[in-house]
Chains A and B, each alone.
Chain A
């Protein structure tokens, strides 16, 4: 099959699934709905692998023209290159696994077909986002995933207890994302102003031809792009929506809020690398924002007691880590971490979903414990995910994180030290989560304990596949120390097939430094493991109740009061303003003004209506009166003349 046709099929399949499930889903049997949704994504994945294997160079597939006036041409066109196909593989691959998982997880849900409709729509939007060959198509997908994210976060909006909270969480995510979207729109406008085009290739070429733009335009363009990225990828200051987004069903958290959508910001930055390379100031901003995010989010995750919230903050923290890599200009390193993170974070989220499913919707880890025996497969895969994210040697997270640390050490040792702190916290909170959930004694009471069960095959199968990927994902980009020939496969793959990246070279450290780094990183991870084992498994410490927390624990559990600060800075003044606009401007000024106008017209009309008495003699009187006046006027006029 021709490449362009394959690409169109990849895009069309999820859309077909969305259309069929959306229109007929209610009447179709559940197995068909889930099977169809999973099937289309899986077939898209297979098609993407054929594109991947036959990949050379960049190919543009033009569908049709969207805008064509006044020198501005915007096409609905798609780009096949290393970056877009790699993202497609992640999205469809992880996506189909999560679809499969959802078939089990959502089996008791009455919104089953709706759920899969949204999921397919999300996959479609995300593919549009990563495959688009210009910023306009990217923007289309960008908005699409934002909408799907909103729909899926507030999926259980009519739940008796949590319905309102779910809707509010969805709303929060949507509004936060909109702030970022404004940045993207502004960047688009400025790009059109500077380049008269939105095509990636043409902008890159224009920058090559005359590299220097006037008036710091590139700084503002890249800054706006980064603002967009902070919205989607949950960086400071727009990160608070992501933990709240855990209100959605767990597969949604895994797919959208861990593996794919939140990496859209990373993708945007990597895709625009030719812009960012010419704007070092923005890169510094990215670096420090990413650094602050990874540190603060890791701190907040330390004392979260909701199994999904820990993972949510961990996601924010890992995304911050990726932005640190982007800030150093190590694009392929960031994308490598995106890949491994997609593996193990999807695994962890699905694992937590399996736990929540088995625990009958209980999410508080203080109610768990000792689940290792009750849910063996979930336990084992979750352990692998935890080890991968914590950086236990030779698992995927170890390699990808180590690459970022190496970049940091090469560029700025101080930042390396801060990252070590963040990475240590990551290992600590992940092992704390693991031991509290799966070891010790069960704390949820005997009735619940008797009901806890291992999940079905459709849920454990994705876990196993993802666990395998989490273990071996590191092989994609081995460091140069051990395997001279096989090393840095991913770096080469990406930099040879993506525009701009061949200009960028990652730092490579000497053998001893790399070795020392790896040993140090391993020590941290293993140390955290040992500490958590001793504290939570051996001594049997359990997480404190909310009231018993003090000092930094409270600070961490309350998320540094960021939500409260945002509330008092932005939300409350805005509410007061709306109140003022509603009560004073609208009711008192506008409404009363309109009323006064209407009353005035009515009163004048009433006054002049009295003239029309209906008595013929009155009319006659006025007629004669008019006649006499008329005649009198002319008589006077004539007599004045003569």
Chain B
């Protein structure tokens, strides 16, 4: 397949940004305790993937992936809604949104 030239900067740049965003999101999700930050980190990872999808879509001149990105964004919006509601409910229980406080479910 022939690489499309419509993309201005090089492909590597987009991939690097996407990778960086994903890594920041993943590390943030692993290390941060605040649930809202956690949610933000997950959003970050999702958008990193979106970026990569769009990049390749443009690169190959195939629009399928761009359609897929819309789905991802809709799912992400729904996920944020559910996630935030869970956080509110959790906060009502323990007056805290520290994720480490919620390890009691295992017992």
A residues apposed to B, CB below 8 Å: 612-617, 620-621, 624
Is B26 an interface residue when CB atoms closer than 8 A count as contact? Answer: yes
How far is it, in angstroms, between the C-alpha of A612 and the C-alpha of B30 when the chains are bound? 16
The B56-106 residues at the A interface (CB cut-off 8 A) are 99-100, 102-106
A residues less than 8 Å from B99 (CB atoms): 615-617
A residues less than 8 Å from B105 (CB atoms): 614
* Shortest distance between the CB of B33 and any CB in chain A (Å): 8
Is B29 an interface residue when CB atoms closer than 8 A count as contact? Answer: yes
Give which listed residue, A613, A614, A616, contacts B38 with CB less than 8 A: A616
Contact B100 A615 (CB under 8 A): yes
* Band of interface residues on B: 10 to 19
Contact A624 B103 (CB under 8 A): no
A residues less than 8 Å from B29 (CB atoms): 617, 620
* Shortest distance between the CB of A627 and any CB in chain B (Å): 9
B residues less than 8 Å from A621 (CB atoms): 30
How far is it, in angstroms, between the C-alpha of A573 and the C-alpha of B106 when the chains are bound? 57
Is B10 an interface residue when CB atoms closer than 8 A count as contact? Answer: no
A residues less than 8 Å from B30 (CB atoms): 617, 620-621, 624
Given known contacts A615-B100, A616-B99, is B106 in contact with A624 (CB within 8 Å)? no
Contact A612 B26 (CB under 8 A): no
A residues less than 8 Å from B103 (CB atoms): 613-615
How far is it, in angstroms, between the C-alpha of A613 and the C-alpha of B104 when the chains are bound? 9
Contact B31 A612 (CB under 8 A): no
Q: Pick the most buried of A612, A613, A617, A621: most chain B CB atoms within 10 A of its CB.
A: A617
* Shortest distance between the CB of B31 and any CB in chain A (Å): 7
B residues apposed to A, CB below 8 Å: 26, 29-31, 33, 38, 99-100, 102-106
B residues less than 8 Å from A612 (CB atoms): 106
Give which listed residue, B26, B31, B33, B104, contacts A614 with CB less than 8 A: B104
Other than A614-B106, A615-B99, give 15 A-B pairs with Cβ distance below 8 A: A613-B103, A613-B106, A614-B102, A614-B104, A615-B100, A615-B103, A616-B102, A617-B29, A617-B31, A617-B33, A617-B99, A620-B26, A620-B29, A620-B30, A624-B30
Which 6 pairs from chain A and chain B are nearest by CB? A614-B103, A614-B106, A620-B30, A617-B30, A616-B99, A621-B30
* Shortest distance between the CB of B81 and any CB in chain A (Å): 19
Q: For residue B33, which residue of chain A has the nearest CB?
A: A617
* Shortest distance between the CB of A105 and any CB in chain B (Å): 72
How far is it, in angstroms, between the C-alpha of A412 and the C-alpha of B105 when the chains are bound? 95
Q: Pick the most buried of A615, A620, A621: most chain B CB atoms within 10 A of its CB.
A: A620
* Shortest distance between the CB of B91 and any CB in chain A (Å): 16
How far is it, in angstroms, between the C-alpha of A528 and the C-alpha of B104 when the chains are bound? 98
How far is it, in angstroms, between the C-alpha of A613 and the C-alpha of B99 when the chains are bound? 13
